[in-house]
């Protein structure tokens, strides 16, 4: 496969969209183009980099080992471009004040560092006061006016009538396996297939309850052999072939801390996404500083979630 031209930003956007969605139709819809145009763009990208980035399967596309490596670079390029555009737009330095935010542990682990750095750069006169607690606690404190707003997994909220919730990012859940696991080689994987193999269960931010709900919907349960509050521990156990798991793209990394490699695959059964969003008091009017931060999050959350 010989290189045939320069890589374009549009090709990178299309590639990242495909990596996020796993299917050409979904990626094309997200990018606002036709499926043939998306397919042609991805083929031209592979030709330009002279590497097979995608593996074709009956249930969609997955990333090759080279594709996983290239994805990190593509996300980094797009993130850098977004930062450059933000940097030359009208500065928001005149907005000042203190913004109090409640977050859950998943937000702390996978969004908070990038969020704080980006907001401090964009709004140098805004002071952030951020507290991490369980979802039920930050919801209670929000209603008691202890926070301006909270950032959490809105897909975990069970009673939306007492909060004004807004989804900013829907992160699909996929199957994670080791590179040489039997399920990694299957063209299509269902929950019935997963139930035949050892399962590693993450016990973090109400994930156990989420897993229980969607497995019960299919009248099944996973063959759980280990349960851990450490996502790094889960990642390593999966990479070493000790079991499989189903987790969202937001927390996906292709490598474990002990240098193991992980493959992710779409499931043929519908599994709920992990939705990150904001919650506020119904009918509440935010301060100018809080309004500026929430407006920035609405346009920047995807880049913050995929820093490269």
**pLDDT above 70: percentage of residues in the chain:** 93
Confidence of residue 238 (pLDDT cuts 50, 70, 90): very high
Residue 281 has pLDDT above 90, yes or no: yes
Confidence of residue 79 (pLDDT cuts 50, 70, 90): confident
Please report the pLDDT score of residue 27 as a whole number.
85
Kindly give the interhelix angle for 288-305 and 65-88, rounded to the nearest 10 degrees.
Answer: 150
Please report the pLDDT score of residue 86 as a whole number.
66
The count of structural domains within the chain is 3
Residue 112 and residue 165 in one domain: yes
Domain boundary among 61, 87, 113: 87
Residue 166 and residue 205 in one domain: no
Tell whether 66 is covered by a domain: yes
Most confident of 66-70, 76-80, 124-128: 124-128
pTM of this structure = 0.73
Most confident of 26-40, 157-171, 224-238: 224-238
Alpha-carbon span 105 to 2, nearest angstrom: 46
Please report the pLDDT score of residue 289 as a whole number.
95
DSSP string, 208-249: HHHHHHHHHHTT---EEEEEES-HHHHHHHHHTTS-BEEEEG
Please report the pLDDT score of residue 308 as a whole number.
46
Residue 149 and residue 283 in one domain: yes
The enclosing domain of 256 has a CATH number of 3.40.190.10
Alpha-carbon span 255 to 232, nearest angstrom: 10
Closest CA to 66 of 84, 80, 45: 45
Average pLDDT for 55-82: 83
Average pLDDT for 240-258: 91
Q: Is 171 helix (H, G, I), strand (E, B) or coil?
A: strand
Average pLDDT for 184-194: 92
Residue 186 and residue 300 in one domain: no
Tell whether 45 is covered by a domain: yes
Tell whether 4 is covered by a domain: no
Residue 220 and residue 242 in one domain: yes
Residue 245 and residue 106 in one domain: no
The enclosing domain of 31 has a CATH number of 1.10.10.10
Residue 279 has pLDDT above 90, yes or no: yes
Average pLDDT for 275-287: 93
Tell whether 229 is covered by a domain: yes
Residue 25 and residue 110 in one domain: no
Residue with more model confidence, 94 or 210: 210
Average pLDDT for 139-162: 89
Residue 128 has pLDDT above 50, yes or no: yes
Residue 82 and residue 218 in one domain: no
Tell whether 144 is covered by a domain: yes
Tell whether 217 is covered by a domain: yes
Residue 1 has pLDDT above 60, yes or no: no
Residue 280 and residue 142 in one domain: yes
Q: Where are the alpha helices (DSSP H) in 126-206?
A: 135-143, 191-194
CB 214 within 8 A of CB 145: no
Closest CA to 173 of 21, 53, 288, 29: 21
Tell whether 59 is covered by a domain: yes
Q: What is the pLDDT of residues 30-59, one digit of tens each?
A: 888 998 999 999 999 999 999 999 888 766
Residue 190 and residue 263 in one domain: yes
Domain boundary among 87, 108, 141: 87
Residue 177 and residue 214 in one domain: yes
Domain boundary among 38, 58, 87: 87
Alpha-carbon span 109 to 231, nearest angstrom: 10
CB 1 within 8 A of CB 49: no
Question: What token pair was written down for 74?
Answer: 């593509």
Alpha-carbon span 51 to 67, nearest angstrom: 8
Q: Is 149 helix (H, G, I), strand (E, B) or coil?
A: strand
Three state DSSP letters for 32-90 = CCCHHHHHHHHHHHHHHHCCCCEEEECCEEEECHHHHHHHHHHHHHHHHHHHHHHHHCC
Q: To which H or E segment does residue 105 belong? A: helix 105-110
The residue range of the domain holding 49 is 9-87
Tell whether 3 is covered by a domain: no
Residue 181 and residue 251 in one domain: yes
């Amino acid at each position: 496969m010989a290189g045939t031209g320069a890589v374009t930003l549009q090709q990178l956007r299309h590639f990242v969209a495909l990596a996020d969605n796993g299917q050409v139709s979904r990626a094309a819809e997200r990018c606002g183009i036709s499926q043939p145009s998306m397919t042609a763009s991805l083929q031209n990208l592979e030709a330009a980099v002279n590497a097979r980035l995608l593996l074709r399967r009956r249930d969609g596309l997955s990333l090759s080992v080279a594709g996983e490596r290239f994805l990190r670079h593509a996300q980094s390029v797009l993130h850098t471009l977004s930062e450059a555009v933000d940097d030359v737009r009208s500065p928001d330095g005149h907005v000042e004040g203190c913004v109090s935010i409640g977050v859950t542990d998943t937000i702390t682990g996978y969004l908070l560092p990038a969020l704080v750095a980006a907001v401090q750069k964009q709004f140098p006169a805004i002071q952030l006061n951020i507290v991490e607690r369980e979802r039920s606690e930050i919801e209670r404190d929000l209603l008691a006016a202890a926070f301006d707003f909270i950032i959490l997994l809105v897909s975990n909220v069970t009673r939306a009538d007492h909060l004004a919730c807004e989804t900013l990012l829907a992160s699909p859940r996929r199957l994670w396996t080791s590179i040489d696991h039997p399920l990694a080689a299957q063209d299509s994987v269902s929950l019935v297939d997963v139930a035949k193999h050892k399962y590693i269960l993450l016990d973090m931010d109400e994930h156990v309850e989420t897993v229980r709900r969607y497995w019960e919907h299919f009248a099944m349960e996973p063959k759980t052999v280990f349960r851990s509050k450490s996502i790094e521990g889960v990642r390593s156990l999966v990479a070493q072939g000790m079991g499989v798991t189903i987790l969202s793209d937001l927390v996906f990394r292709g490598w474990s801390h002990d240098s193991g490699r992980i493959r992710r695959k779409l499931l043929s059964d519908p599994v709920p996404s992990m939705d990150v969003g904001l919650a506020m008091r119904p009918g509440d009017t935010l301060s100018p500083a809080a309004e500026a931060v929430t407006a920035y999050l609405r346009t920047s959350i995807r880049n913050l979630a995929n820093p490269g």
